[in-house]
Amino acid sequence: MSRFLNASELDSLGLRAFGTDVLIDRAAILVNPAAISLGDHCRIDAFALILAGQEGVRIGMHVHIAAGCQIFGGGGAVDLEDFTCLSGRVSVYTATDDFTQGFLTNPTVSAAYRNVRTGGVTMRKHSIVGCGSVVLPGVEMGFGSAAGALTVLRKSVPECNVVCGNPARRLPKRRDRARLERLEQEFLRGAHLNG
């Protein structure tokens, strides 16, 4: 038996939509699959957890969600555009409790006693998040941006910028947008099949 779900098993999940060549490991957990859509050629590895809230989780084409990643979409939409990547053990949150001013925390407590910050998370094309990183509500990763391992993303990252650390700091290196676009076009034309 393959470690990835077959076509009929994918169909039985009740996903909002899924494309061709979708690979979901049997050990992955999808909560509220009716609010999850998956593009062509995406892969979700073992022990990944995707919890879709009311606004849903959209995963584009050629997206990789590595082992142990967690996406908590209860506080807003999560949008992973084409060619994005979450490395191992990345956690994405669309809601967090503010406990700094004496509010109570956790979902077993009435909302009147909590101060919850919510916001969608968007990863634009070709953005990547390194292993063990945390993405907090309201963050947008710009086209081609990258976060190094163990980064805590509290603020959005501009196009092609590279950040790392806690708090996240911009590195002097930038990713090359023209190269990313050229390589994407070559890849989509099938040039990788000839070499």
Q: Which helix (H) or strand (E) holds 187?
A: helix 177-188
Q: Residue 195: its pLDDT value, please?
A: 52
List CB contacts of 1: < 8 A, sequence separation 6 or more. Answer: none
Among all chains, which residue has been given the structure tokens 């930038």? 174
Q: Are strands 161-164 and 169-174 parallel, antiparallel or unpaired?
A: antiparallel
| Residue 94 near residue 139 (C-beta atoms within 8 A) | no
Q: What is the pLDDT of residue 194?
A: 62
Domain ranges for the chain, please list them: 7-193
In the chain, count H helices and then E strands.
2, 22
Burial of 117 (C-beta count, 10 Å sphere; 0-12/13-18/19+): middle
Task: Given CATH 2.160.10.10, say whether it is the number of domain 7-193.
Answer: yes
Print pLDDT tens along the chain (195 aa): 799 999 999 999 999 999 999 999 999 999 999 999 999 999 999 999 999 999 999 999 999 999 999 999 999 999 999 999 999 999 999 999 988 888 999 989 998 999 999 999 999 999 999 999 999 999 999 999 999 999 999 999 999 999 999 999 999 999 999 999 999 999 999 866 765
Q: How far apart (Å, rounded) are the C-alpha atoms in residues 96 and 52?
A: 15
